[in-house]
Amino acid sequence: MLKLENIVAGYGKNRILHGFSLHVPKGGLVALLGGNGTGKSTTLKAIVGLVTPQEGRIVFDGADMARVPAEARAGMGMSLVPQGKEVFGGMSVEENILMGAYHRRADKAGIAQDLEQVYARFPRLRERRKVAAAMLSGGERQMLSISRSLLSRPKLLLLDEPSAALAPKVVEEIADAIVALRADGLSLLLVEQNVGMALDVADYIYVIRAGRVAYERPVGDEGVGMDELRQFYLGGHDHG
Ligand SMILES: Nc1ncnc2c1ncn2[C@@H]1O[C@H](COP(=O)(O)OP(=O)(O)OP(=O)(O)O)[C@@H](O)[C@H]1O
């Protein structure tokens, strides 16, 4: 679904990614872990086209993204749920969700169907659909951001630290929602600082450090474990 090959990217002369590679298979749930300022958000920006790589290749659903502008990438089926849980506070929950369908606003029947699906997945949003989004809790805002992305009917969902600043119980709810989306056939790239949550949901883990892959492993019986990962994640020693 998504392949990053030796991406070199940054801001002006400030290089952040130094040959970063990553693969999200169709239907896969891949987690990208790393500390503050290691290049996780920059990776997501490169994928959606907000940062242009100086070197390397991004292939999405079989197409080279080099000449595809950011606006076109959303229409091709990738959607970013940005960090920060930003919502349009003065607009209702439903109006916020519907903004995700802006590029296909003529498809009234399809949009109604997708809205129904999103409400079935997040009943709390249905209950609060008329409420101003500013009134929502952090967890509800995260659900709203995910729902807005889903209204664009993505093939690949990119999530930037969905667990940030949420209580453990709410993180569990978000994790359950992510697993359910994957069960529906969506491919997901989850950027996280919450190692436990990532290990619970992902089937493959990358750790980024200083703009490079420091560690990568499948999750599971014979794959990566919490102790091992913690050692790499917290900066024990470099790999490869
Ligand atoms: N728009 C920008 N212009 C210049 N430098 C930037 C810009 N955005 C990010 N950076 C720098 O790039 C580096 C990597 O940032 P990035 O946001 O990719 O890190 P991150 O791994 O997502 O960290 P965090 O978990 O804190 O969000 C940081 O040193 C940051 O200061």
CA 28 – ligand 1 centroid, Å: 26
Q: Which residues line ligand 1 (CB under 6 A)?
A: 11, 14, 16, 34, 36-42
CA 166 – ligand 1 centroid, Å: 22
DSSP-assigned letter for residue 137: -
Strands 29-33 and 187-192: parallel
Q: Is the pLDDT of residue 133 over 60?
A: yes
Q: Tell me, what's the pLDDT at 240?
A: 35
Highest mean pLDDT among 2-6, 163-167, 194-198, 218-222: 2-6
Q: Which one of 20, 42, 189, 213 would you pick to mutate in the ligand 1 pocket, going by the greatest count of ligand atoms within 8 A of its CB?
A: 42
Q: Is the pLDDT of residue 158 over 80?
A: yes
> ipTM of the assembly?
0.94
Q: Is the pLDDT of residue 237 over 90?
A: no
Confidence of residue 102 (pLDDT cuts 50, 70, 90): confident
| Distances in whole angstroms, Cα of residue 35 to Cα of each of 7, 22, 64, 80, 204 | 19, 17, 29, 20, 18
Q: Tell me, what's the pLDDT at 104?
A: 85
Note whether 177 and 184 are within 8 A (CB): no
Q: Is the pLDDT of residue 173 over 80?
A: yes
Question: Given the CA of residue 34, which atom of ligand 1 is nearest to it?
Answer: 21
Q: Tell me, what's the pLDDT at 223?
A: 64
**What's the average model confidence in pLDDT over 90-116?**
93
Q: Is the pLDDT of residue 238 over 70?
A: no
Cα 21 to Cα 186: distance, rounded to the nearest angstrom: 21
Of the candidates 194, 143, 202, 146, the one whose C-alpha atom is nearest the C-alpha of residue 168 is 194
Q: Which protein residue has the closest C-alpha to ligand 1 atom 6?
A: 11
Q: Which one of 7, 41, 80 would you pick to mutate in the ligand 1 pocket, going by the greatest count of ligand atoms within 8 A of its CB?
A: 41
| Beta strands in the chain, from DSSP E residues, in sequence order | 2-11, 14-24, 29-33, 55-60, 63-64, 78-81, 156-160, 187-192, 204-209, 212-218
Cα 159 to Cα 81: distance, rounded to the nearest angstrom: 5
Question: Given the CA of residue 38, which atom of ligand 1 is nearest to it?
Answer: 21
* Lowest mean pLDDT, pick from 31-35, 56-60, 80-84, 145-149: 80-84
Cα 99 to Cα 152: distance, rounded to the nearest angstrom: 9
CA 176 – ligand 1 centroid, Å: 28
Of the candidates 152, 150, 204, the one whose C-alpha atom is nearest the C-alpha of residue 180 is 150
Cα 158 to Cα 189: distance, rounded to the nearest angstrom: 5
Residue-wise pLDDT for 21-79, tens only, equals 999 999 999 999 998 889 999 999 999 999 999 999 999 999 999 999 998 998 899 99
Q: Tell me, what's the pLDDT at 228?
A: 72
Amino acid present at 93: V
Mean pLDDT score of the chain: 91
Higher pLDDT pick, 152 / 229: 152
Q: Tell me, what's the pLDDT at 224?
A: 67
Residue-wise pLDDT for 209-222, tens only, equals 999 998 898 987 66
Q: Which protein residue has the closest C-alpha to ligand 1 atom 24?
A: 36
